Amino acid sequence: MVCAYAAQHLDVEMKPIVEVELAESADKLSKDYHNAGTDLARVILIGHCYLLNVQWMLHSIYWFKAEA
């Protein structure tokens, strides 16, 4: 989730460098990272790793807020 959030807020100078190096647009990278984080969060059993679930939810909220 941190990668997804960071990819959303790249500096103006850094954005083209990252896009060239990874051969993807920053928006697509952000969405792909967010989807990967969501898939990983679904694997964690409910009631286990409570702190990780809370952190995932907070980062996901930040990501969706920035997308809006």
CA distances, 23 to each of 20, 39, 53 (Å) = 5, 23, 31
Q: How confident is the model at residue 23 (pLDDT cuts 50, 70, 90)?
A: very high
Model-level pTM? 0.68
5 neighbors 64 (Cβ within 8 angstroms): no
13 neighbors 26 (Cβ within 8 angstroms): no
The confidence score (pLDDT) of residue 25 equals 92
**Residues for the chain: how many in total?**
68
5 neighbors 67 (Cβ within 8 angstroms): no
Q: How far is Cα 64 from Cα 11, in angstroms, rounded to an integer?
A: 19
